[in-house]
Structure 1
Amino acid sequence: YLEAEFYLHAVTGRGLADAMTTGTGTRGGVTGGRAVRFETKAARQYAQEIAADEKAHVQFLRSALGSAAVSRPAIDLQSSFTAAAQAAGLVKPGRSFDAFACEENFLLAAFLFEDVGVTAYKGAAPLITNKTYLEAAAGILAVEAYHAGNIRSALYQRGDGKATVKLSNARDSLDGPADDDQGVIDGHGNANIVPTDANGIAYSRSPGQVLNIVYLTSKAATSGGFFPKGVNGEVNTSAAN
């Protein structure tokens, strides 16, 4: 829901249809978000393709889950980005960060999400025992990895490597003591499009660690950040780090 709403607002100025947001739990609205005035045709088309993929993911997951599908929780696409940007040092305290103000801001905001999606699906893989669901999840993981690589490449080409390192460090400060997260440049300023360990393997995040980042907290919590009223479903508490 979070990625679909972010990308759909960026490319169309509006989010998911109401019929795609119902289910169990408390249904919430979306705060913030508007169409981005893209500077380049390439970035606009990247965003359009990713938006279509994320909308399709919502449709697929809702269909696969059936009566177990949860409703869209309340989502904040406004103050949450400002809090994240301030924590990363991209903007000074008291200044706002509008993820939809320009192409650069949009790409940095997308970077904040995309790597989290990849690590979330990889981390969830051991929890899925049904092979059919596991294959579907692997398919979504692959798509999220393509998206992440696309956004990381676009930011590297723009020369925004240092900004991504700041955002990466901010994510690392939320999800525990391990220093796994990586920006799009390494310590020598060289391209680092694929964040991996020494074996060339992408790292994982537990559901709790994923919630640390989207709640923007390093503590155990049930709401905050992009989900001001929490998420629907049984897995809803961030990790205590």
Structure 2
Amino acid sequence: MLGHYLTRNQVADVVQRRSERRDFFKKSSGFAAGIAGGAILTACGGGSSSSVAQAPPGPSDADIFNFALNLEYLEAQFYAFAANGTGLPASQLTGTGTQGAVTGGRAVTFVDPVVRQYAKEIAGDEIAHVAFLRTTLGASAVAQPAIDIGGTDPNGAFSTAARTAGLVGPGVAFDPYASDENFLLAAYIFEDVGVTAYKGASPLIQNKTFLEAAAGILAAEAYHAGLIRTVLYAKGVATPALRSSADAISNARDSLDNSQDVDQGISPIGDSSNIVPLDSNGLAYSRTPGDVLNIVYLNSGAVSRGGFFPAGVNGALVLSSALA
């Protein structure tokens, strides 16, 4: 269990992680620049297939928005049940691909009125995101896939995620609806992932209207993530296990998505809080769609289903990344 401050070895580990994150950003920037350069050459008619390597075609803007819609379905259903006791209306679930049901979900009996109010605010935002993306995509919007947000099955998604983080043992369920604290930790599983997903997708979006919309949702998700991290951090003053549990979830996410150690927990670094997870340049980091799917599928391999999406997601981007 982590205390209120990191040990000298842990501080050294944080410095090392920041160095790794800096290298990661350099690689990511080069990748983005390569895509942009290939697009410019193609648009200007420069080069030829024999003399200039052409960038492979990437996902369309609709593919990216549909990928985001899958994630918004997951977040909206979790928050809607936790805050209101009901999920999304049936009219917001249809679309292309296979429509699936939601497993689990129920209202949290909140003790702290502030947490209850936060939950209701985020639920409203996530429900609005689903409606907005569906309207933007029109007839091409994907249907909600099967989603597992249950809290009583020891083999369910939340329990598996908690077990990956070492929060529960074999055969023990993690119930995100059992308490304010469990709800916050469950929300923490999602929020940082949403921010990094939109950040990673932004260089791939071609249409400026779509890019502006994605930036707006990214900003909202960043507010949500900061809020959840702040509440866990504050409550961790009296209950340090909340901070150490959030750190363990961060490490679990890092163990699933790729070989880069970029995710960050919330425990203090020296005399500074760590509410906002950034690199040494003060920038948020990115995840590819495949890396995001590693986390929500709860699998470090290249798979097409599992975890919170037991039958996979709908759309063109369905395969997670192989851990390298």
Counterpart residue number, 2:209? 132
Partner of 1:210: 292
Identity over aligned residues, as a percent? Answer: 62
- Measured in 2, the distance between the counterparts of 1:9 and 1:167 equals 22
Match of 1:229 in 2: 311
Kindly provide the CA deviation profile for residues 5-59 of structure 1, in whole angstroms up to 9, marking residues without a partner as x.
0000001111000000000000000001100011111000000000000000000
The code of the aligned residue for 1:102 comes to: S
How many Å separate the matches in 1 of 2:118 and 2:213?
23
Pick one of 113, 117, 121 that aligns with 1:41. 113
Give the 3 Å change call, closer, same or farther, for CA 189–21 of structure 1 in structure 2: farther
Which is worse superposed, 87-96 or 47-56?
A: 87-96
Structure 2: state its 5+ residue gaps.
Answer: 1-72, 151-155, 237-241
Range 180-189 or range 224-233, more displaced: 180-189
Which moves more between the two structures, 111-120 or 86-95? 86-95
Report deviation, 1:107: 0.2
Q: Give the equivalent residue in structure 2 for 1:90.
A: 167
Aligned partner letter, 2:101: G
Partner SS for 1:178: coil
Letter in 1 for 2:300: S
Aligned 1:14-29 pairs, distance under 5 A: 14-29=86-101
C-alpha offsets along residues 66-124 of structure 1, whole Å, 9 cap, x if unaligned? 01100000000121000000110011111110011111000000000000000000000
- What's the CA shift for 1:185? 1.2
Alignment partner, residue 188 of structure 2: 111
Question: 25-34 or 178-187, which moves further after superposition?
Answer: 178-187
Count of residue pairs brought into register by the alignment:
241
What are structure 1's unaligned runs of at least 5 residues? none
Q: Counterparts of 2:309 and 2:169 in 1: how far apart (Å)?
A: 23
| Backbone CA RMSD of aligned residues | 0.9
Higher RCO, 1 vs 2 (CA within 8 Å, ≥6 residues apart): 2
* Distance in structure 2 (CA, Å) of the matches to 1:64 and 1:181: 31
Worse overlay, 95-104 or 183-192 = 183-192
Q: Does 1:64 align with 2:136?
A: yes
Aligned-pair distance for 1:187?
5.0
**1:131-160, Cα deviation, whole Å (9 max, x unpaired):** 000000000000000000000000001112
TM-score normalized by the length of structure 2 = 0.73
Counterpart Cα distance in 2 of 1:37 and 1:183: 26
Which of 93, 99, 109 aligns to 2:176? It is: 99
Q: Which structure 2 residues correspond to residues 166-181 of structure 1 after superposition, within 5 A?
A: 166-181=248-263
Measure, in 1, the Cα distance between the counterparts of 2:271 and 2:315. Answer: 41
